[in-house]
Structure 1
Amino acid sequence: MVGLPERRDPADDSLSVWTERYLDLAVRGVRSAKVTAKISRHLRRFGAWITGGLGHDRLSAVTVREVSAWRDHLAAAGNRGRDGTAAPMAAATVNNHLAHLSALFSWISAHAPEGLLRHGDPTKQVASLPLPAPQPRALAAAQVRTVKNVVDRIETFHELKGRRHRGTAARAHAHARPLRDRAIVYLLFGTGLRRAELVGLDLDQLQPADPGRLRQAKKARLTGVRGKGRTSRTVFLGRDARQALADYLQQERPGDAAASTGATALLLSAASIAARRPDGRLSARSINTIVGEIGRLHDAQMADPERRLGTLRPHDARHTFAYALSQTSGHNRAELERRLGHANDRYLRLYTNPPDDIAASYVEDL
């Protein structure tokens, strides 16, 4: 291969070979399967970019110019829209790609033969993209009130209302689990849990787990909640979450648990769903569907456009909880870190931004 010193193996100058070495020796078995898959995906995107642009994948040909061009390409057209057309990639996602590429070249710099990277690490001089200002996503107090009102009446929305069911006792759709869905909403708004943290909960993490004791307890908690970065924290449950969970555990969960093998999850899919997981555990995506449907029901009943939610997302509840906790705790940073599972200043500021109606009131009389 042109440019290689005599007797050097051509594989020493192959980006794809070094990428696989890095993944095998520094990533697989060290990082979680999910993170490993993401790192691999990002690095292979860069490899495809180099090969497609230069016609080869020589490691020694990777320059600052190539890395900068890849960054700009991702920002402009790194995603694919639903119609298959190129779409911009979010700045945070682009920076995540750059971070993974930088880790790769740092590792290569430490292990590559002398003289292979003659110009040094090509990622060191490529700046990350500036991130947009955090946007507040907390719901206003009036919106929280009407969401809870809809959730408290959720069973009526799942009743069978066809002509043949008139005059009979109210009966819900076979797949409907209104008490579970109510518990999910109250858990999200009352604890700030991420959706992955929520579906990862097991029944034995709830203390107490007996419905009767849960209704009476004032310090019920979820222990060992697994968050990002292998963190673990304890989450306390407020009155609404305790009552909603107790109703679900007493009335709906036993039937779904009996139909599952090793049903350890706190929240279970309906036993009538043929495609559910063998252990009955909900998927993170199903939380999006449940919360989104609550938002749709809310807006369908809301004449006031100021109270409408648009698309309600699980993370909106996390922002709402964080802002309320910040106000209640007197902006206690330690408490926010402990309950949210975040120590990063930028994220704490993001989560504690006030809703628009409160932010607008700050300047009303200025």
Structure 2
Amino acid sequence: MGTDEWVPDSQDHQKNTSRKIIDLDQGVAAADDSLAAWTQRYLDLAVQGVRSDEVTGKITRHLNRFTGWLTEGLGHDRVSAVTPREVAAWRDHLAAEGNIGRRPGDSAGIGRRDDTAMAPATVNNHLAHLSALFSWITVHAPPGLLRHGDPTKKVEPLPLPAPQVRALAGPQVRTVKNVLDRIEGFHQLTGRRHRSGDTAPAVHRHARPLRDRAIVHLMLGTGLRRAEVVDLDLGQLDPAHPDELRRVKKAKLNGVRGKGRTSRNVFLGRDARHAIADYLQSERPGDVDEQTQALFLAASSIGARRPGGRLSPRSINTIVGEIGRIHDAETTDRQRHLGTLRPHDLRHTFGYRLSESSGHNRAELERRLGHANDRYLRLYTNPPDDIAAAYVEDL
């Protein structure tokens, strides 16, 4: 039997472990035209164990959203009924009201659904996962199931807006670092019972101010992406002992894994070295368990943290955003306010400052940013608005 051939259940056949073979034990007739069944086959045979758990979860959510939306609209989930019109309508639905949250309810306390537009890049990510599913179905489907071919091929992704970049200006960098120098004080408990005695006030049991300071200094001083930060292991840090880390000037992170399976070594500046050393010495040991390998850990007091304590990329958004919130609350000069501070703002700031200090050395930018695409290199090195405005002030 060929790897793509379907046979009736009544025929004896030897099971083949190839990913191109569909398990027919449950009966083809019942599942042939069910999108839910095909989605589960695809996940079992081509996604789980091949992609990371995080990516597998994202693909599963996106495909289940399409199945639910199709079933709600047509009253069934037949694969043969999926047309380019349906795929395009789903794309437009996500773009118009794809984000589902909860807004405060009425006087009875009942929450109401709040549907908001989904970002074009997120919509296109949904489409890419759906396209991969139908490409797989096309290869493995029995004849006649997709009479008009892959329904996703004729649906164009949404156009992406021009990327908006923001590098922090020099005064903003200074005040951010000032906040980082004092970050422990912002996490101290202020109740009366915590103010008595000669000991330093305690911090919230989930708070890890030294970790947060180390992460922001690291991103500001290296341009690492948030996913690269959470993927770091302690074993990549050279040297890894706090005293040595403070002393040497060529400390680095070895084999940082970037996009496109790239890998690079990243040197650490003084601020990042000292901040990481403080974290390793004072906070990290209390959060280590037998599975721990990650450099930066979630607090062990958090019951739902991952085995080993590794942070999620989304947690980096929370950490960086909180630093921005504290910064703006502390800064009376509105010209220095950051608004919502995002991890990529730190990356853009590093890119611009590195471009300035290296004389716009393209090779150095590629090496340190982990990006060889000219378009993105230009974006990462755009100057802050106040500097860009000064260029034309007297022209």
Where on the TM-score scale, by shorter chain, does this alignment land: which range? 0.7 to 0.9
- Tell me which residue corresponds to 2:328: 299
SS of the residue corresponding to residue 144 of structure 2 reads: coil
1:68-217 matches, within 5 Å, as 68-83=88-103, 84-158=113-187, 165=195, 168=198, 170-173=200-203, 175=205, 177-217=208-248
1:321-336 matched pairs, under 5 angstroms: 321-336=350-365
Asked whether 1:41 is paired with 2:61, we answer yes
**SS of equivalent residue, structure 2 residue 256:** strand
Greater Cα offset, 323-332 or 279-288: 279-288
1:260 Cα deviation after fit: 4.1
Q: For the structure 1 residues 13 and 305, does the alpha-carbon distance in structure 2 shift closer, same or farther, using more than 3 Å as the test?
A: same
Cα deviation digits, residues 313-341 of structure 1 (max 9, x gap): 33321221122223333444444343333
Letter in 2 for 1:200: D
Equivalent position SS for 1:86:
strand
When structure 1 is superposed on structure 2, of 41-50 and 262-271 the one drifting more is 262-271
The structural deviation recorded for 1:93 is: 0.8
**Whole-angstrom CA distance in 1 between matches of 2:151 and 2:328:** 51
1:231 deviates by 3.9
Q: Distance in 1 between matches of 2:190 and 2:137?
A: 65
Counterpart Cα distance in 1 of 2:156 and 2:302: 49
CA gap of 1:232–1:18, structure 2 versus 1, over 3 A, is same
Q: Determine whether 1:50 maps to 2:74.
A: no
**Partner residue, 1:266:** 295
Percent of pairs with identical residues = 73
The residue aligned with 2:346 is 317
In structure 1, distance between residues paired with 2:44 and 2:191: 59
Q: State yes or no: 1:65 paired with 2:95.
A: no
Residue 223 (structure 1) aligned to one of 254, 266, 270: 254
Contact 2:121 2:160 in 1 (8 A): yes
Asked whether the 8 Å contact 1:199–1:267 carries over to 2, the reply is yes
Tell me which moved more, 172-181 or 314-323.
172-181
- Decide which moves more: 168-177 or 108-117: 168-177
C-alpha contact (below 8 Å) 1:79/1:89 kept by paired residues: yes
Q: Cα distance, 1:177 vs. partner?
A: 4.3
Q: RMSD of the TM alignment (CA)? A: 2.9
Distance change >3 Å, CA 303–CA 59, structure 1 → 2? same
Q: Residue 239 of structure 1 aligns to which amino acid in structure 2?
A: R
- TM-score under structure 1 length normalisation: 0.85
Cα contact 1:319–1:352 (8 A) shared by 2:
yes
Farther-moved stretch of structure 1 (285-294 vs 155-164): 155-164
The normalised TM-score by structure 2 is 0.79
**1:359/1:297 Cα in 2 relative to 1: closer, same or farther (>3 Å)?**
same
Amino acid at match of 2:220: F
Letter in 1 for 2:334: P
Greater CA drift, 63-72 or 265-274 = 265-274
2:165–2:345 contact (8 Å) kept in structure 1: no
| Residues matched between the structures, number | 358
| CA shift for structure 1 position 228 | 4.2
Offset of residue 349 of structure 1: 4.1
Q: Which moved more, 1:341-350 or 1:305-314?
A: 341-350
Q: Distance in 1 between matches of 2:70 and 2:316?
A: 39
Q: Secondary structure of the equivalent of 1:116?
A: coil
Which letter maps to 2:135? Answer: S
Q: Which of 276, 280, 289 lines up with 1:245 in the alignment?
A: 276
Distance in 2 between the 1:358 and 1:221 partners?
A: 31
- Name whichever of 60-69 and 243-252 sits farther off: 243-252
Rounded to whole Å, the distance in 2 between the matches of 1:122 and 1:272 is: 48
String of CA shifts for 1:134-182, please: whole Å, max 9, x gaps.
1112211110011112212334444566666368354442645443332
Instruction: Determine the structure 2 residue equivalent to 1:12.
Output: 32
Contact 1:174 1:272 in 2 (8 A): no
Could you tell me which residue of structure 2 aligns to residue 26 of structure 1?
A: 46
> Which residue identity is paired with 1:89?
M
Structure 2, unmatched stretches of 5+, are: 1-7, 9-27, 104-112
Unmatched segments (≥5 aa) in structure 1: 1-6
Letter of the structure 2 residue corresponding to residue 241 of structure 1: A
Task: Specify whether residues 82 and 142 from structure 1 end up closer, same or farther in structure 2 by C-alpha distance, changes over 3 A only.
Answer: farther
What's the CA shift for 1:286? 4.3
Secondary structure of the 2:32 match is helix
Q: Which moved more, 1:144-153 or 1:109-118?
A: 109-118
